[in-house]
Amino acid sequence: MNRWLQRSQIWLHIPMMLVAVLFIAPLLWMISTSLKAPDDIISGLGTMQWIPKPITTENFRNVLGKIEEFPIWRWTFNSVFVSLAVTFLVLTVDALAAFAYSRLRWAGRDRIFGMLVATMLVPGQVLLIPLYLLIRKLGIFDTYAALILPASASAFGVFLLRQFFLTIPMELEEAARLDGCGPLGILRHVILPLSKPALATLGIFTFMGTWNAFEGPLLFTDSAAMRTLPVGITIFQGRYNIEYGPMMAAAALAAIPVTIAFLLFQRHIIKGISLTGLAGR
Protein backbone atom coordinates (compact mmCIF):
# COMPACT_ATOMS: atom_id res chain seq x y z
CA MET A 1 0.00 0.00 0.00
CA ASN A 2 2.69 2.42 1.05
CA ARG A 3 4.82 1.58 -1.97
CA TRP A 4 1.85 1.95 -4.26
CA LEU A 5 1.20 5.40 -2.80
CA GLN A 6 4.78 6.40 -3.52
CA ARG A 7 4.95 4.93 -6.97
CA SER A 8 1.65 6.34 -8.16
CA GLN A 9 2.58 9.81 -6.83
CA ILE A 10 -1.04 10.19 -5.87
CA TRP A 11 -0.27 12.93 -3.34
CA LEU A 12 1.26 14.99 -6.10
CA HIS A 13 -1.52 14.30 -8.56
CA ILE A 14 -4.28 15.43 -6.21
CA PRO A 15 -3.15 19.06 -5.81
CA MET A 16 -2.09 19.26 -9.45
CA MET A 17 -5.45 17.99 -10.59
CA LEU A 18 -7.20 20.50 -8.34
CA VAL A 19 -5.16 23.33 -9.85
CA ALA A 20 -5.89 21.95 -13.33
CA VAL A 21 -9.62 22.10 -12.56
CA LEU A 22 -9.25 25.70 -11.37
CA PHE A 23 -7.38 26.60 -14.55
CA ILE A 24 -9.83 25.01 -16.94
CA ALA A 25 -13.04 25.95 -15.10
CA PRO A 26 -13.35 29.54 -16.41
CA LEU A 27 -13.05 28.32 -20.00
CA LEU A 28 -15.62 25.57 -19.50
CA TRP A 29 -17.90 28.11 -17.85
CA MET A 30 -17.58 30.32 -20.92
CA ILE A 31 -18.67 27.45 -23.20
CA SER A 32 -21.40 26.41 -20.79
CA THR A 33 -22.84 29.92 -20.51
CA SER A 34 -22.75 30.38 -24.27
CA LEU A 35 -25.02 27.34 -24.70
CA LYS A 36 -27.62 28.37 -22.11
CA ALA A 37 -30.95 30.07 -22.63
CA PRO A 38 -30.85 33.76 -21.62
CA ASP A 39 -33.46 33.22 -18.90
CA ASP A 40 -31.44 30.41 -17.34
CA ILE A 41 -28.45 32.70 -17.09
CA ILE A 42 -30.13 35.77 -15.64
CA SER A 43 -32.71 34.25 -13.35
CA GLY A 44 -30.12 32.10 -11.68
CA LEU A 45 -31.84 28.88 -12.78
CA GLY A 46 -28.86 27.75 -14.77
CA THR A 47 -26.29 29.39 -12.60
CA MET A 48 -24.41 26.50 -11.07
CA GLN A 49 -25.39 24.13 -13.79
CA TRP A 50 -22.35 23.17 -15.84
CA ILE A 51 -24.18 21.22 -18.49
CA PRO A 52 -26.92 23.47 -19.89
CA LYS A 53 -30.42 22.03 -19.97
CA PRO A 54 -31.69 22.52 -22.57
CA ILE A 55 -28.62 23.17 -24.73
CA THR A 56 -29.41 26.04 -27.07
CA THR A 57 -27.55 27.66 -29.92
CA GLU A 58 -29.66 30.77 -29.51
CA ASN A 59 -26.73 32.90 -28.28
CA PHE A 60 -24.59 31.92 -31.24
CA ARG A 61 -27.45 32.62 -33.65
CA ASN A 62 -27.96 35.91 -31.86
CA VAL A 63 -24.30 36.85 -32.34
CA LEU A 64 -24.08 35.67 -35.94
CA GLY A 65 -27.46 37.11 -36.88
CA LYS A 66 -26.53 40.75 -36.33
CA ILE A 67 -24.00 40.78 -39.13
CA GLU A 68 -24.79 44.40 -40.01
CA GLU A 69 -23.94 45.70 -36.58
CA PHE A 70 -21.37 43.09 -35.53
CA PRO A 71 -19.74 41.66 -38.67
CA ILE A 72 -18.19 38.77 -36.83
CA TRP A 73 -17.32 36.80 -39.97
CA ARG A 74 -15.53 39.84 -41.30
CA TRP A 75 -13.66 40.17 -37.98
CA THR A 76 -12.73 36.51 -38.16
CA PHE A 77 -11.51 36.94 -41.73
CA ASN A 78 -9.53 40.02 -40.71
CA SER A 79 -7.92 38.16 -37.81
CA VAL A 80 -7.00 35.19 -40.00
CA PHE A 81 -5.76 37.31 -42.89
CA VAL A 82 -3.75 39.72 -40.76
CA SER A 83 -2.22 36.95 -38.63
CA LEU A 84 -1.19 34.98 -41.72
CA ALA A 85 0.18 38.07 -43.46
CA VAL A 86 2.21 39.15 -40.44
CA THR A 87 3.54 35.63 -39.95
CA PHE A 88 4.56 35.35 -43.61
CA LEU A 89 6.14 38.80 -43.62
CA VAL A 90 8.02 38.27 -40.35
CA LEU A 91 9.38 34.88 -41.39
CA THR A 92 10.59 36.17 -44.79
CA VAL A 93 12.03 39.48 -43.69
CA ASP A 94 13.51 38.21 -40.43
CA ALA A 95 15.15 35.17 -42.04
CA LEU A 96 16.87 37.38 -44.61
CA ALA A 97 17.99 39.81 -41.92
CA ALA A 98 19.12 37.11 -39.49
CA PHE A 99 21.21 35.62 -42.31
CA ALA A 100 22.81 38.99 -42.90
CA TYR A 101 23.61 39.45 -39.20
CA SER A 102 24.96 35.93 -38.71
CA ARG A 103 26.56 34.81 -41.98
CA LEU A 104 27.45 37.85 -44.04
CA ARG A 105 30.14 40.41 -43.31
CA TRP A 106 29.38 44.04 -44.00
CA ALA A 107 30.23 47.43 -42.62
CA GLY A 108 28.20 48.48 -39.58
CA ARG A 109 26.67 45.03 -39.10
CA ASP A 110 27.36 44.61 -35.41
CA ARG A 111 26.54 48.20 -34.54
CA ILE A 112 23.14 47.97 -36.25
CA PHE A 113 22.45 44.62 -34.62
CA GLY A 114 23.29 46.07 -31.21
CA MET A 115 20.74 48.79 -31.82
CA LEU A 116 18.10 46.19 -32.76
CA VAL A 117 18.72 44.31 -29.52
CA ALA A 118 18.60 47.50 -27.46
CA THR A 119 15.09 48.32 -28.73
CA MET A 120 13.73 45.03 -27.47
CA LEU A 121 13.28 46.56 -24.02
CA VAL A 122 11.09 49.42 -25.29
CA PRO A 123 7.54 48.91 -23.98
CA GLY A 124 4.99 48.66 -26.78
CA GLN A 125 2.91 51.42 -25.21
CA VAL A 126 5.60 54.00 -25.88
CA LEU A 127 5.05 53.48 -29.61
CA LEU A 128 1.27 53.73 -29.72
CA ILE A 129 0.67 57.48 -30.01
CA PRO A 130 3.59 58.21 -32.39
CA LEU A 131 2.62 55.19 -34.50
CA TYR A 132 -0.95 56.44 -34.63
CA LEU A 133 0.19 59.82 -35.97
CA LEU A 134 2.61 58.18 -38.39
CA ILE A 135 -0.10 55.86 -39.72
CA ARG A 136 -2.40 58.84 -40.22
CA LYS A 137 0.35 60.71 -42.08
CA LEU A 138 1.16 57.73 -44.29
CA GLY A 139 -2.53 57.53 -45.19
CA ILE A 140 -2.86 53.90 -44.09
CA PHE A 141 -5.16 54.48 -41.09
CA ASP A 142 -7.97 51.91 -40.95
CA THR A 143 -6.39 49.67 -43.63
CA TYR A 144 -4.78 46.23 -43.56
CA ALA A 145 -1.40 47.92 -43.88
CA ALA A 146 -1.96 49.55 -40.49
CA LEU A 147 -2.70 46.16 -38.98
CA ILE A 148 0.17 44.32 -40.68
CA LEU A 149 3.21 46.58 -41.04
CA PRO A 150 3.69 47.87 -37.45
CA ALA A 151 3.10 44.33 -36.16
CA SER A 152 6.00 43.08 -38.31
CA ALA A 153 8.63 45.60 -37.27
CA SER A 154 9.93 43.95 -34.09
CA ALA A 155 13.58 42.92 -33.81
CA PHE A 156 12.71 39.84 -31.80
CA GLY A 157 12.45 37.39 -34.70
CA VAL A 158 15.77 38.56 -36.15
CA PHE A 159 17.42 38.03 -32.78
CA LEU A 160 15.86 34.58 -32.37
CA LEU A 161 16.75 33.32 -35.85
CA ARG A 162 20.26 34.77 -35.71
CA GLN A 163 20.95 32.86 -32.50
CA PHE A 164 19.81 29.70 -34.24
CA PHE A 165 21.68 30.30 -37.50
CA LEU A 166 24.91 30.79 -35.54
CA THR A 167 24.75 27.21 -34.28
CA ILE A 168 24.81 25.78 -37.83
CA PRO A 169 28.35 24.61 -38.70
CA MET A 170 30.18 26.82 -41.14
CA GLU A 171 31.56 23.75 -43.01
CA LEU A 172 28.14 23.04 -44.52
CA GLU A 173 28.08 26.52 -45.92
CA GLU A 174 31.61 26.24 -47.31
CA ALA A 175 30.64 23.08 -49.16
CA ALA A 176 27.66 24.80 -50.75
CA ARG A 177 29.87 27.74 -51.64
CA LEU A 178 32.30 25.43 -53.46
CA ASP A 179 29.33 24.02 -55.37
CA GLY A 180 28.73 27.54 -56.64
CA CYS A 181 25.96 28.71 -54.33
CA GLY A 182 25.54 32.43 -53.77
CA PRO A 183 24.32 33.89 -50.45
CA LEU A 184 20.66 33.41 -51.39
CA GLY A 185 21.32 29.81 -52.40
CA ILE A 186 23.12 29.11 -49.12
CA LEU A 187 20.21 30.58 -47.17
CA ARG A 188 17.65 28.57 -49.13
CA HIS A 189 19.45 25.25 -49.44
CA VAL A 190 21.57 25.10 -46.30
CA ILE A 191 20.38 27.40 -43.54
CA LEU A 192 16.58 27.32 -43.86
CA PRO A 193 16.18 23.52 -44.13
CA LEU A 194 18.27 23.14 -40.95
CA SER A 195 16.35 25.85 -39.09
CA LYS A 196 12.86 24.40 -39.25
CA PRO A 197 12.37 24.21 -35.45
CA ALA A 198 13.32 27.87 -35.00
CA LEU A 199 11.19 28.96 -37.96
CA ALA A 200 8.23 26.95 -36.66
CA THR A 201 8.55 28.49 -33.20
CA LEU A 202 8.78 32.01 -34.56
CA GLY A 203 5.91 31.38 -36.96
CA ILE A 204 3.57 29.95 -34.32
CA PHE A 205 4.31 32.71 -31.82
CA THR A 206 3.94 35.44 -34.40
CA PHE A 207 0.61 33.98 -35.45
CA MET A 208 -0.76 33.66 -31.93
CA GLY A 209 0.60 37.04 -30.90
CA THR A 210 -1.03 38.75 -33.87
CA TRP A 211 -4.28 36.84 -33.44
CA ASN A 212 -4.54 38.09 -29.85
CA ALA A 213 -3.10 41.58 -30.41
CA PHE A 214 -5.27 44.23 -28.85
CA GLU A 215 -3.82 47.74 -28.57
CA GLY A 216 -2.69 48.11 -32.19
CA PRO A 217 -5.96 47.04 -33.86
CA LEU A 218 -7.88 49.12 -31.30
CA LEU A 219 -6.03 52.32 -32.16
CA PHE A 220 -5.05 51.93 -35.81
CA THR A 221 -8.53 51.12 -37.16
CA ASP A 222 -11.92 52.63 -36.53
CA SER A 223 -14.49 51.24 -38.95
CA ALA A 224 -16.41 48.12 -37.94
CA ALA A 225 -15.25 46.41 -41.14
CA MET A 226 -11.55 46.70 -40.24
CA ARG A 227 -11.70 45.45 -36.65
CA THR A 228 -10.18 42.15 -35.58
CA LEU A 229 -11.87 39.63 -33.28
CA PRO A 230 -10.40 40.81 -29.94
CA VAL A 231 -11.42 44.41 -30.60
CA GLY A 232 -14.76 43.24 -31.99
CA ILE A 233 -15.44 41.46 -28.71
CA THR A 234 -15.11 44.69 -26.78
CA ILE A 235 -17.47 46.48 -29.19
CA PHE A 236 -19.88 43.66 -28.60
CA GLN A 237 -19.47 44.00 -24.87
CA GLY A 238 -20.17 47.72 -24.99
CA ARG A 239 -23.55 46.85 -26.43
CA TYR A 240 -24.44 43.59 -24.64
CA ASN A 241 -23.30 44.91 -21.32
CA ILE A 242 -25.17 42.47 -19.12
CA GLU A 243 -26.31 39.89 -21.64
CA TYR A 244 -23.76 37.28 -20.78
CA GLY A 245 -25.07 34.58 -23.12
CA PRO A 246 -24.34 36.34 -26.43
CA MET A 247 -21.14 37.77 -24.94
CA MET A 248 -19.80 34.35 -23.98
CA ALA A 249 -20.79 33.03 -27.42
CA ALA A 250 -18.76 35.80 -29.05
CA ALA A 251 -15.85 35.19 -26.68
CA ALA A 252 -15.95 31.46 -27.44
CA LEU A 253 -15.96 32.16 -31.19
CA ALA A 254 -12.81 34.24 -30.76
CA ALA A 255 -11.08 31.75 -28.46
CA ILE A 256 -11.86 28.45 -30.17
CA PRO A 257 -9.72 28.70 -33.33
CA VAL A 258 -6.59 29.67 -31.44
CA THR A 259 -7.26 26.96 -28.85
CA ILE A 260 -7.51 24.32 -31.56
CA ALA A 261 -4.30 25.59 -33.13
CA PHE A 262 -2.62 25.39 -29.74
CA LEU A 263 -3.79 21.84 -29.07
CA LEU A 264 -2.54 20.77 -32.51
CA PHE A 265 0.87 22.39 -32.11
CA GLN A 266 1.27 22.31 -28.32
CA ARG A 267 4.36 20.12 -28.46
CA HIS A 268 6.21 22.59 -30.70
CA ILE A 269 4.92 25.56 -28.78
CA ILE A 270 5.97 24.41 -25.33
CA LYS A 271 9.30 23.10 -26.58
CA GLY A 272 9.81 26.29 -28.55
CA ILE A 273 9.42 28.47 -25.48
CA SER A 274 11.92 26.44 -23.51
CA LEU A 275 14.37 26.57 -26.42
CA THR A 276 14.14 30.27 -26.91
CA GLY A 277 13.13 31.73 -23.59
CA LEU A 278 10.15 33.29 -25.29
CA ALA A 279 7.49 34.05 -22.74
CA GLY A 280 4.59 34.08 -25.15
CA ARG A 281 4.07 37.77 -25.55
Q: Give the footprint of another protein on residues 127-156 (CB under 8 A).
A: 127-134, 149-150, 152-155
CA atoms lying within 13 Å on the CB side of residue 51: 0
Instruction: Compare residues 168 and 181 and give the one whose CB is closer to another protein.
Output: 168
Judged by CB under 8 A, does residue 73 bind another protein?
Answer: no
Nearest 5°: the CA angle 104, 107, 110 is 75
User: What is the per-residue binding string for another protein in 253-272, x denoting contact by CB under 8 A?
Assistant: -xx--xx--xx--x--xx--
> Which region, judged by CB under 8 A, interacts with another protein, from 57-65, 66-74, 88-96, 193-201?
88-96
Instruction: Compare residues 30 and 84 and give the one whose CB is closer to another protein.
Output: 30
Residues in region 181-220 near another protein by CB under 8 A: 183, 208, 211-215, 218-219
User: What is the per-residue binding string for another protein in 99-118, x denoting contact by CB under 8 A?
Assistant: xxxx-xxxxxx--xx-xxx-
Instruction: Compare residues 67 and 138 and give the one whose CB is closer to another protein.
Output: 138
Count of residues near another protein by CB under 8 A: 108
Minimum CB–partner distance for residue 54 and another protein (Å) = 19
Minimum CB–partner distance for residue 71 and another protein (Å) = 16
Q: How far, in Å, are 21, 67, 78, 254, 266 from residue 259 at the CA level? A: 17, 24, 18, 9, 10
CB of 73 within 8 A of CB of 67? yes
Of 236, 257, 249, 233, give the one whose Cα is nearest residue 34: 249
Judged by CB under 8 A, does residue 61 bind another protein?
Answer: no
Q: Which of 5, 19, 51, 264 binds another protein (CB under 8 A)?
A: 19
Q: Which of 51, 57, 73, 167 binds another protein (CB under 8 A)?
A: 167
Cα dihedral 223→145→214→159 (10° resolution): 180
Judged by CB under 8 A, does residue 274 bind another protein?
Answer: yes
> Which region, judged by CB under 8 A, interacts with another protein, from 51-59, 60-68, 69-77, 123-131?
123-131
Minimum CB–partner distance for residue 270 and another protein (Å) = 6
